[in-house]
Amino acid sequence: MSNVIFARSIGYFAAGSDARPLLHLWSLSVEEQFYIVFPPLMIILWTHARNSMLPALYAFAAVSFSASVWMTFEAPLQAFFLPIYRAWELLVGAIIAFGGIPKPSARVARIAPLVGLAAILV
């Protein structure tokens, strides 16, 4: 519940937030809330729409991402702290785990680490 409390009271980077030593726990709350909802969702999809699991994950991620972008302008605290607006981040991991993003070619796989290192150095 810490993320809900923080969404109502203080911004993560607001003045005085450094006086809240447990502020960082908001992200654990979001994860736990996701992991409470995600397994039953997957069970329902597996039971009733096995062939639609990946498209459903894409759709949920797209809706969450769109809502996140919109809420960033409308209500930034809620967009930052609440799980519905952060679910897309965890859903991308689920999409990768289910093979929804194709493996890169051998050439891209060789170049990607160098591009990442260059980005870090820049």
Answer whether 63's CB lies under 8 Å from 85's CB. Answer: no
Residue 24 belongs to what domain range? 2-121
Q: How far is residue 46 from each of residues 53, 59, 104, measured CA to CA in Å?
A: 7, 16, 27
What is residue 4's predicted lDDT score, i.e. its pLDDT? 59
Q: Report pLDDT for 66.
A: 96
pLDDT digits (tens, 9 = 90+) for 58-81: 999 999 999 999 989 988 878 877
Number of domains in the chain: 1
CA nearest neighbour of 45 among 33, 58, 32? 58
The answer, yes or no, to whether residue 19 has pLDDT greater than 60, is no
Considering the entire predicted model, what is its pTM? 0.71
Cα 8 to its chain centre, rounded Å, is: 20
Q: What is the pLDDT of residue 56?
A: 93
